[in-house]
Every structure is written in C-alpha cells, then in structure tokens.
Structure 1
Amino acid sequence: MKVGILGCGQLSRMLALAGWPMGFRFSFLADPDEPVRCVEGLGPVVRQDGLMTARDVYVAMGSPDVITVERESVCVPLLRQLKTFCPVYPDPEIVWAIQNRHREKTLVADLGIPLSPWEVFREHEPVQEAIARIGGFPVVIKSTEDGYDGHNQWVIDNSEQLEAFEKERETLLQKPASKGIHEWIVEKKIVFDREISVIGARTSNGNIVMYTSGENHHNKGILVHSVIPAPDLSELLHNKARDYISRLLQETGYVGVLAVECFVAGNELLVNELAPRVHNSGHWTMDGAATSQFENHLRAIASLPLGSTAHQGGVVGMYNLLGQKHSDDSRVPDQFIAQGTYLHWYNKISRPGRKLGHLNILAENEEELGGSFESLKSQWT
C-alpha cells in the first residue's frame, strides 16, 4: 500500500519506520521552506508550490492509496480536494475543526464533554468582558490557531499582565492578515493536580482500541517526560478518559489515531486539547506497548485489524531530548542507550527547545524510573 503523508517532521519519520516492515511505502508533501531531514531515504518528497493543483500533488506523490497528516496546521482545502482521488484520514473536516481552538472546544462541548470555562474574542473586542463572563482572573489567553508547545499563549493573573497582552495584541493586529493573529480564546486558569493524556485509534468500520493513560510533565509548554501508567489514577478517572475518547472517535466517525490531553482536578477530568494525529505523549508505545501508535494509525487508515495495545512490563517512561543550543551537529547521543532504554533520534538540526529525539525507558517501578529521569536531566544539558 502507498501512503502519502502531509508533513516531513519526526511524526512522518516514525510512521514510515513503522510501516516499512509491513510492506507500506511512503511519499511526503513538504511546505515550500520545510526541512525534510527527518524523512530522508524513507520515500519521495514533493515540495509544494503555489502553482500545483490537487491533481498535480496527488500524481507527484505517486498516486497514493490513502493520505494522512502528521500535524494539524495543514491546508484543509487541499485535503478536501485530495479526497476526490483517494481516502484522506483523518477526514479533512475533523482536521479543520481541531486546528482551530474555537471550533475544537465547540466540538468537545457539543458532545457534553467537560472543559474549563472559556470564551472567544476577536480583533478589537474587549477581552475584559470575556474574562468577566468566566469568573475573572486568573486566565489563560490562547490564539485560536498557530499555537503549539506554549507558543501564542499568555497566562494572565492580574491587570498589569492583561495590559501587557493588550499591547502585544495591537502589534499582532497590525501585521498582514495572512501572518497576524485575529482571534483568541480566554480560558479560566484551572488549578489542576496533573495532566494526563489518552490515545485511541479507530477504523472506518468502527473498531476502537485505547492505550493506557499516561501522566505528562511540561516545562514552558513543552512536554518533557511522560509516565505510563499515570500513577495512582483512580478507576473513576480512568473510565472517564476512556469514555471521552470513545465518544470523540465514534461521534465524529474518526479514522486513525486521536490523542486527548486532560487536566485532572480532584475527581474531575477536563479536556485541554485534542490532536488529530499520532502524538508526542504516545511515543512510549514504540517500546512499551504490544503495538505502537504509529503502527495502529497505519492499520486504521488502511482498514486493517488494529493491534493489541497491551501495556508491556511495569512502568514506562518517555523522555524528550530537547535542543539546548543552535548547532549543525546532529550526532546520535548513543551514550544514553542502555538496558531497558531505547533511543529514537530524528536527524534534526539542533536549536533551543526543539525536539531532537526521545528515550523510552522500561522500569520495574516509579522510583526506578524517577532515578532514570534525574540522571538524564543532569546529563542532557
């Protein structure tokens, strides 16, 4: 089977690496200036330009049997047009809904799944009124689009911080429409105990599998490490997480892997974000589950039986190797490979905060895993 992937980052790389042993072959569509090092040698890369029609793209990619995405920030009109040539999963309308926080939250709320209180405001609309409607400070303001890993997000605890945001908003509004930000949501800042994520996959005929929920730890909006299973997660919360993702998969007719990030606040579970793709918090499945999220995504979009998601062993950890400085040095840090530790390297140029690779660690218990995390933190600087 020939699979076309929109995007050339590490998620495309890991999808292709999972699919090659299964007999899948891949092609990739790159934006005009997108780096393609991650997918070098894994299939043809088509560099998109403004003159290419959807038919041109489809033919240049080798007329794939199915097309998928590795990120939300794709051209949905192109996806819709490509759907006339072959199946596109997840469906372009789902990608369209989730790539915008306003539409995403509306989708979740319409399914009766709880969220933090939120409001939307545009351009010069007064944000103070929106803040008042959700109960006042503290709040978090996020652009509805082009926000990831903490980008285009503002934590507002008081009037002084709001004034600083207002000044920045004026600057953003002065940019050309194609580059500026013109819509935001404001959310009540929730005092939560921790964040968990749950990942599931669904085929076109409605079969669903779900992975063990993991606990995520962030720094400045970037995922640093995950622990699986989420420590001491109650059966109540475990069932809520499974219910949320099941409803999202079924009610939308979703095909492929979906990730749902949630805040745990006591016995409440509030959805934070969705990702219509394989997800960083699911990278542990490459070594800690019977079937990885990448293989199950390919199985789902190819209408093949889904693989077992059984959790392997005791405790699994995933640790992101984030860039510390600008550097052309992309040498593999093989010093971290040890018994029970598995390195996945993305072949990227280093820059601060950039995800260069990750380590999956299989441990006997949480104490052992915590020691491994501390050791990695001290060495990866």
Structure 2
Amino acid sequence: MIEPGATIGILGGGQLGRMIAVAAAQLGYHCHIYAPEPESASVAAEVALRYTQGEYDDTAALAAFAADCAVVTYEFENVAIGVLERLALDVVRPSVKALVTAQDRMNEKTFVTDLGGKPAPFAAVDSAADLAAAMARIGTPGILKTRRDGYDGKGQWRIMHPANADGLDLPGQPLIYEGFIDFFAEFSVIACRGGDGAVRFWDSARNVHENGILATSTAPAPAEVLAQVPEARALAARVADALDYVGVLTCEFFATTDGPVFNEMAPRVHNSGHWTIEGALTSQFENHVRAICGLPLGDTALAAKGVEMRNLIGAAANDWAAILADPASHLHLYGKAEAREGRKMGHVTRLTL
C-alpha cells in the first residue's frame, strides 16, 4: 500500500490528469505531472504539486520524474512503449502491457477476439491494394482508421461506397478498416480493478456522439441497453484479468440486435465516466487513485436516481453563468485558454434526485 503523503506521477497534462490530481489530493497524495507542453499550457499542472516538461521519449527526464514518484499512472496512452520498457518502471499502473494492447487498434481487436469478444469485422490496411481487399471481404459502408493515435473522430475516413476509396490519399502509416455496425445505442463499461483482483463496475451510461465527439452520457441507460451490460461486463472483466490490470479500464460497446459489439478500450479514466464525480458514491478518479495505491476500492453505486453528463465543446463553455443558474447542475471547467471548435472545454453534470 502506498500511504497518503506520497507522490503520484501522472503522464499527460490534460483534463483527465487534472481530475486524477484533484481526487488524489482529497486522499492526501501529491501529484507530479509529466508532459511535453510548457507548464503554463497544462491544465493538470494548475492542481499539482510539481511539473516536469519533457518529451515522452526522453529517457533521462522520465527516469528523473519516476524517481520522484511512488507510483506512475497516465491520462494519455500514446506514450512511447520502448522508453517505459527500458526504464523498467514496475511502478507504472496500469501496466505497460495494457498500453501495448490499447495503442494499436489491430492488436486491441485481435486481443479482444481471442478472449471471446465480438468486435466489428476488421482488416489491416497498409496499401491501396489492402484497402480494396478489405472492402471486398467486409463490404461497405465502412470506416478507415489509423491504427494508432486518433481520437474524437480524428484519423478516420468514412467509406460509404467503394468509389469513395478511389484516389484516397492514405496517410503513410498503418491503418485498419472496419465494417459499419447497425446499432441502436452506444454504451461504456467502466471498471476498476485493484491489485488484489477485486473489480468494481459503475452503471453503464448510454453515450451519444455528435461529429465523432461524445456529447452526453446518461445513467441509468434504457432497458434495452441494460440487457446487454452483463455480457459486456463479463468481457471487460476477462480483459482486465488477462492484462493483470490495476486501475480504471473503459470498454466501449455498440448495442445491437445481436448483442454487444466491442468498439474500443481505453486503459485509463474516460470522458464517458465523468458523471461519476457527483453521480456515483465513488468517482472513477478516486477509485483509480485507490487502485494504483493499493487502497480498498470504493462503492460505485449511483448517488442519485439519474444522472446526465454533457460535454461543453468549444464556445458552449461560455454559457457557464446560465448553467450555474440551475441548482441541479454541477459545472466543471478545465481551465483551457482557447475555446476552439471541437475542443472539450468542460462538462456539466445534472442529477435527478
């Protein structure tokens, strides 16, 4: 067990790191943020004790950072694996193995398939010929994605008809082609696994995306979604056990007439779980800190009859005064200076008591 007063290292300086650091402070821990941007540009640095500016492949800087920390976690999974492996940081939680699996969509879907999960049909694409073969086997419509990095709809190309691929300028990096899924809802399974193997699940919220970005998460989800949650939870538990996972793990699913279809996993706290700060007895951020520090996990039950989280994208955050005028709303602004289109500036959670 890592006792309060120790320092938790967080790789990544964004809003997820910020919320982890707030939860850690409430439990008596200090946080040290490591990220490539200047300290003045990190919203996590505003609530942390220390900050190191360094690239994710800077072995010396990472080693010095790790030496200051009792445990290291991350809010951003696209960290250079080779560097972490060379440092042999046995205090990284979740493990490097979880990063290796989640960083590459091909690895991720193969891993989940081997565990009995059901993702959308997929194929690796490294050339125009590979894409043609994938479309011939899987069909259209489909979506072409970078195997690494892309998020919030970035690094993705919709291919509604084979002609859409004619002359497509491939980005020169490994890709994956996935067939479209006919689904009636999207939902997340957010789990927390302790070092002793204990697992807690939060209620699965129904997620609604707009322009590839999560707009709302609502719990409890409708009955037709809830009926698919047990199967999805069983898969998430198998994933966590196979990775010897410690911390919060998020698995996203499509609800279909044939049962839950796995979409992707994130080895970290997740936007679709932000509602847990006020809406659950223990938030995803607090339980993540509890898990990585070896503390008992907290109760994940709903704290209200219902809860909805809405992301504040771009200029929507400027309506903060109107949001606060509603006594049932809880506002979280991330402290970002520039409200760009498509940028998550904060979120608001509304409880139904």
Q: Which category describes the TM-score, using the shorter chain as reference length?
A: over 0.9
Q: Is the 8 A contact 1:100 1:145 kept in 2?
A: yes
Aligned residue number for residue 155 of structure 1:
158
Aligned residue number for residue 314 of structure 1:
305
Q: Is the 8 A contact 1:285 1:293 kept in 2?
A: yes
Which one-letter code corresponds to 2:46 in the other structure?
A: E
Matched, 1:36 2:42: yes
User: Structure 1 residues 186 and 3 mapped into 2: Cα distance closer, same or farther (>3 Å)?
Assistant: same
Matched, 1:2 2:3: no
Partner deviation per Cα, 1:70-109 (whole Å, 9 max, x = no partner):
011112222223444x510111121111011011111111
TM-score normalised over the length of structure 2? 0.92
Q: Which runs of 5+ in 2 are unaligned?
A: 1-5
Which one-letter code corresponds to 1:138 in the other structure?
A: P
Aligned residue number for residue 168 of structure 2:
167
Distance 1:100 1:14 in 2: 26
Following superposition of structure 1 onto structure 2, how do residues 1-381 of structure 1 map, counting pairs within 5 Å?
1-32=6-37, 35-49=41-55, 52-54=58-60, 56-60=61-65, 63-84=68-89, 86-134=90-138, 136-163=139-166, 166-169=167-170, 172-173=171-172, 182-233=173-224, 236-324=227-315, 333-337=320-324, 338-349=326-337, 350-364=339-353
**1:53 Cα deviation from its structure 2 partner:** 2.8
Aligned residue number for residue 377 of structure 1:
none
User: Structure 1 residues 32 and 19 mapped into 2: Cα distance closer, same or farther (>3 Å)?
Assistant: closer
**1:123 Cα deviation from its structure 2 partner:** 3.5
Stretch of structure 1 that moved more, 21-30 or 120-129: 120-129
After TM superposition, where is structure 1 displaced by more than 4 Å over at least 4 residues in a row? 49-52
Stretch of structure 1 that moved more, 353-362 or 335-344: 335-344
Partner deviation per Cα, 1:154-183 (whole Å, 9 max, x = no partner):
1111133222xx4321xx23xxxxxxxx21
User: Structure 1 residues 162 and 254 mapped into 2: Cα distance closer, same or farther (>3 Å)?
Assistant: same
Which one-letter code corresponds to 1:79 in the other structure?
A: L
**1:235 Cα deviation from its structure 2 partner:** 5.5
Distance 2:56 2:179 in 1: 40
Query: What is the DSSP-based 3-state SS (H/G/I as helix, E as strand, rest coil) of the residue aligned with 1:324?
Result: helix
Which one-letter code corresponds to 2:23 in the other structure?
A: A
Q: Is the 8 A contact 2:305 2:352 kept in 1?
A: yes
Q: Is the 8 A contact 1:31 1:47 kept in 2?
A: yes
Stretch of structure 1 that moved more, 254-263 or 232-241: 232-241
TM-score normalised over the length of structure 1? 0.86
Which one-letter code corresponds to 1:215 in the other structure?
A: R
Distance 1:3 1:65 in 2: 6
Q: Is the 8 A contact 1:334 1:343 kept in 2?
A: no
Distance 2:45 2:190 in 1: 24
Instruction: Report the identity percentage.
Output: 37
**1:238 Cα deviation from its structure 2 partner:** 2.1
